[in-house]
């Protein structure tokens, strides 16, 4: 049995001992005297949940720096889509391995992915022992045969590891029809899987949707066909109205904010005041490395907070504490993983942070330092599901 | 004599040997066979200039995370100014040492500072062997005695090291009078020193200036009293008009962009389209750690580029290559240091970058990876003035 005892680590500013048994935080107490396989000296370290990257196209690390600083449609048409069409299974496997290495370096223990050659993504995740939810991704123009094959794969999916699940991922409303959306939502429901899509990323998408669907916004349109519920995860949601926010609140959907990608592609600004007003479920994602261009959730937290303050001219708008929850607890909640907090009985996912690192000094406010000052160098240890994946 | 030979390092995509003799890049060639004190294997490394942090209050690392997520005047009046007034000489020394450690970690070889207890800043810089220009900072309300003493210090300043210089730094137009500005500009000119101040950081400052000075903008006001020239370095310059840009272009001033600080305090957006239209001299700075909250120029480059693209709705607006020049060559140019490029005869300041780091892979575009993907972990070596300050 795997047992780890972390001695005298700082948890919310208090020094405690923490016992990990198998993949669970078994006991948290001021002092624990139990013989364990491994003891970690937690002095000068703080324990926090790791990051849950809620929107990624991991293998796009292959396209990091391949095309930057150009308009969206030139970027997509002349570069990204052409290059993606040349990628084979091995490219996806290697690209995903590179992404996972990078994510571990910056403290991420889980990613929700959406890309091609899903079996290669699953293979990479299995080998690296990180958590992931792999979106089985649909684009209608790729043909009926692929759709049928993918639905068949979903219906017959057997879990090989508790670390991995799949989700049903129609790519977007402009690449999948109403009928396909409805069918895939049924497939997700029948198999008790999460349902994820890109939504309301650009103004163009909103305008095109209104033209095509009787003046309905993207959120209104998806709601009108009955595919929005508390299993639905919507990447981007940059352009939403007050009415959209009401719908998203009633349905209990999760919105995934990707500030770096939205800024780099000039997509617009995530409506933080509105999501706060309606208390919507929000988590954070990096998007793919071709529009970010890294997968650091630490950097993403800082961009989210500073973008909100800048764009809405309010330095008090999104606090370090709020954006930290978006990057940790809310991500785990969105995919229904019992993790994202350091609590007895929860899955043993955590980071040990070096409080002596110059970026964490002085320690007036630990969470502020994590969000506004830290980079990957402050992470000493990453534990995912009770296993040590990084130890520097 | 200090001699270092860097063998087969990638310079602008080509492998070369580089000879450093004392503090100068002596020879750059495809192959150099000379016996040197030290040889560095440059394979799988790229050489670039280090970063020149052109606006800092280094010792404010002491206030990192002390007060965040609140309106500017609450932040200043209720927190920062009160805490600053309690700081003694030793606090400034320790805060500056911490700042320099952090800057070296993220590849910065020079900083242009503006803070109190300047002799303690100089002491810290001397001990850490980094380059710096220490602003001797004036606020009129601190009294005539301090002003006289500081001007006397400037007039009698003796260089103890080629790494350190001082500059004349009236804090801002709202803390120093017209007469003091004119007097200090004369002092700078007589001593052949740079002249730096905060300018046009907030809309409030612009409005107050117009009210106080016959409807002149901050730039027009400083120009009207004759203190703008090519030795003038202006921090922030967020709110400038077309007419201001014309003046700044004619006078050859340097503008220092501090994107993180401007975003975190909701100060507004640096006018990248205008500075590009008038081809103004721009360099990059982090500002103090209390409004950033770190001193990473790598992060600052990404924020500068993504902020410009987002704010002006143009993903092509500020390229990785442009912002990289702001962070390197332009900074050195602003203070008249013969550095910021890897060229024979220039001062031997450089970084060696680990091309095998996951954040630098794949290497489709090295500068894009440095700006959009890297963090401090990609830096293997920092050489400043021919001396190795960091080697991992």
Q: Is residue B71 pLDDT above 90, yes or no?
A: no
| CATH number reported for the structural domain that contains residue A18 in this entry | 2.30.40.10
Domain check: are B330 and B191 in the same one? yes
Q: Quick one: CA torsion of A122, A125, A129, A131, rounded to 10 degrees? A: -90
| Dist. CA A129–CA A100, nearest whole Å | 10
The pLDDT score that the predictor gives to residue A1 is 66
Given an 8 Å threshold on Cβ–Cβ distance, is B263 in contact with A61?
A: no
Tokens of B364: 């489709």
Kindly list the residues from chain B whose CB atom is less than 8 angstroms away from the CB atom of residue A301: none
Query: CB contact, 8 Å: A241 with chain B?
Result: no
Task: Note whether B68 contacts A372, CB cutoff 8 Å.
Answer: yes
Is residue A304 a contact partner of residue A384, using CB atoms and an 8 Å limit?
no
- Does B83 reach chain A within 8 Å, measured CB to CB? no
Determine the pLDDT at residue A353.
Answer: 98
Domain end, chosen from A312, A334, A356, is at: A334
pLDDT for residue A388 is more than 70: yes
Q: 0.80 cut: is pTM over it? A: yes
Query: In this model, does residue A323 exceed pLDDT 70?
Result: yes
Digit-coded pLDDT (tens) for B87-112: 999 999 999 999 999 999 999 999 99
Indicate if B178 and B266 belong to the same structural domain: yes
Give the pLDDT mean for A227-256: 98
| Structural domain harbouring A136 | 51-334
Which residues 348-387 on chain A approach chain B with CB closer than 8 angstroms? Answer: 358-359, 361-366, 368-369, 372-377
Is B260 within 8 Å of chain A by CB? yes
A224 and A329 part of one domain: yes
Indicate if B73 and B113 belong to the same structural domain. yes
Final residue in a domain of this structure, among A334, A356, A373: A334
d(CA A239, CA A63): 27
Which of A315, A322, A380, A390 would best serve as a mutation to test chain B binding (most B beta carbons within 10 A)?
A315
pLDDT of residue B76: 86
Q: B222 pLDDT exceeds 80? A: yes
Chain B residue numbers with beta carbons less than 8 Å from the beta carbon of A303 are: 303, 306
Please tell me if residue A33 touches chain B, with a CB cutoff of 8 Å.
Answer: no
Using an 8 Å CB-CB cutoff, list chain A residues near B313: 266
Residue A210 has pLDDT above 70, yes or no: yes
Q: Give the tens place of pLDDT for each residue, B239-264.
A: 999 999 999 999 999 999 999 999 99
Kindly state the average pLDDT of the residues B129-140: 98
Q: A85 and A34, same structural domain?
A: no
B99 to chain A: nearest residue by CA? Answer: A358
| CATH code of residue A105 | 3.20.20.140
Residue A113 clears pLDDT 80, i.e. is over it: yes
Looking at the structure of chain A, the number of domains it has is 2
A262-282 residue pLDDT tens: 999 999 999 999 999 999 999
* Sign of the Cα pseudo-torsion (A283, A288, A289, A292, in order): negative
Same domain as B315, residue B354 = no
ipTM of the complex: 0.98
Q: Write out chain B residues lying below 8 Å of A103, CB-based.
A: none
**pLDDT tens for each residue of A171-185:** 999 999 999 999 999
Contact A294 B102 (CB under 8 A): no
Mean pLDDT, to the nearest integer, of A202-229?
98
> Residue A289: closest CA among chain B residues belongs to which residue?
B373
Find residues 104-143 of chain B whose CB sits inside 8 Å of chain A. 105-106
Q: Which of B61, B63, B103, B293 to mutate to test the interface with A (most CBs of A within 10 A)?
A: B293
Q: Which residue in A65, A71, A98 is closest to B365 by CB distance? A: A65
Instruction: Answer left, alpha or beta for residue B43, where phi above 0 means left and psi between -120 and 50 means alpha.
Output: beta
β-pairing, A350-354 vs A232-236, is unpaired
User: Are A237 and A368 within one domain?
Assistant: no
The C-alpha of B253 sits at a distance from chain A's nearest C-alpha, in angstroms, of 26
Q: Are B243 and B217 in contact (CB under 8 A)?
A: yes
Residues A292 and A239 in one domain: yes
Chain centre distance of CA B338: 15
Angle at A114 between CA A306 and CA A190, to 5 degrees: 120
pLDDT of residue B73: 79
Residues A321 and A374 grouped into a single domain: no
What count of other Cβ atoms lies within 10 Å of the Cβ of residue B317? 19
Q: What percent of chain A is predicted at pLDDT more than 70?
A: 100
| pLDDT value of residue B151 | 98
Contact A372 B102 (CB under 8 A): no
Is residue B160 pLDDT above 90, yes or no? no
Q: What is the mean pLDDT of residues B27-50?
A: 97
pLDDT bucket at B349, cuts 50 / 70 / 90: very high
Residue B270 CA to residue A346 CA, distance in Å, equals 45
A294 lies in the same domain as A153 = yes
As a three-state string, the secondary structure of A108-140 is EEEEEEEECCHHHHHHHHHHHCCEEEEEEEECH
Q: Which of residues 303-332 of A touch B (CB under 8 A)?
A: 303, 305-307, 309-311, 313-320
Identify the domain boundary among B309, B334, B359.
B334
Average pLDDT taken over every residue of chain B = 97
Cα A176 to Cα A138, A169, A188, B191, B269: the distances in Å are 7, 10, 16, 70, 38
Which residues of chain A neighbour B100 with C-beta distances below 8 Å?
A: none
Q: Distance from A224 to chain B by nearest Cα, in Å?
A: 31
Q: How far apart are the first and last CA of chain B?
A: 24
Token digits of residue B97: 């040492």
User: What is the torsional sign of CA B111, B113, B118, B124?
Assistant: negative
**Closest approach of B318 to chain A, Cα-based (Å):** 7
Per CB-CB distance under 8 Å, the chain A contacts of B265 are 309, 315
For the packed helices A144-155 and A178-190, what is the interaxial angle rounded to 10 degrees?
Answer: 20
Looking at residue A160, its pLDDT comes to 85
| Residues B301-322, mean pLDDT to the nearest whole number | 98
Instruction: Tell me: do B353 and B211 sit in the same domain.
Output: no
- Residue B376 and residue B293 share a domain: no
A70, A71, A306 ranked by CB distance to B263: nearest:
A306
């Amino acid at each position: 049995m795997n047992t780890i005892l972390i001695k005298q680590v700082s948890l919310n500013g208090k020094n405690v001992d923490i016992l990990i048994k198998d993949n669970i935080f078994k006991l948290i107490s001021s002092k624990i005297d139990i013989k364990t396989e491994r003891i970690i000296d937690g002095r000068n370290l703080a324990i926090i949940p790791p990051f849950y990257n809620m929107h990624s196209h991991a293998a796009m690390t292959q396209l990091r720096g391949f095309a930057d600083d150009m308009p969206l449609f030139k970027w997509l048409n002349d570069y990204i889509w052409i290059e993606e069409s040349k990628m084979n299974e091995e490219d996806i496997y290697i690209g995903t391995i590179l992404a996972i290495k990078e994510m571990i370096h910056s403290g991420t223990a889980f990613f929700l992915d959406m890309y091609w050659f899903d079996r290669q993504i699953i293979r990479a995740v299995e080998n690296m022992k990180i958590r992931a939810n792999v979106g089985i991704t649909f684009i209608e123009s790729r043909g009926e045969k692929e759709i049928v094959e993918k639905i068949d794969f979903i219906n017959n999916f057997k879990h090989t590891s508790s670390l991995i699940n799949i989700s049903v991922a129609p790519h977007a409303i402009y690449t999948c029809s109403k009928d396909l959306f409805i069918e895939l939502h049924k497939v997700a429901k029948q198999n008790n899987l999460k349902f994820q899509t890109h939504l309301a990323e650009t103004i163009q998408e909103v305008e095109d949707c209104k033209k095509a669907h009787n003046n309905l916004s993207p959120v209104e349109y998806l709601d009108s066909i009955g595919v929005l519920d508390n299993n639905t995860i919507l990447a981007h949601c940059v352009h939403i109205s007050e009415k959209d926010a009401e719908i998203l609140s009633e349905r209990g959907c999760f919105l995934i904010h990707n500030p770096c990608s939205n800024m780099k592609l000039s997509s617009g600004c995530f409506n933080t005041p509105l999501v706060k007003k309606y208390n919507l479920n929000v988590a954070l994602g990096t998007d793919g490395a071709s529009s970010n261009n890294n997968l650091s959730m630490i950097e993403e937290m800082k961009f989210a907070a500073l973008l909100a303050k800048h764009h809405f001219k309010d330095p008090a708008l999104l606090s370090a504490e709020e954006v930290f929850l978006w990057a940790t607890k809310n991500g785990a909640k969105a995919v229904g993983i019992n993790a994202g907090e350091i609590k007895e009985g929860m899955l043993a996912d955590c980071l040990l942070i070096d409080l002596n690192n110059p970026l964490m000094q002085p320690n007036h406010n630990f969470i502020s330092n994590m969000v506004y000052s830290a980079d990957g160098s402050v992470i000493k240890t990453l534990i995912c599901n009770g296993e040590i994946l990084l130890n520097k």
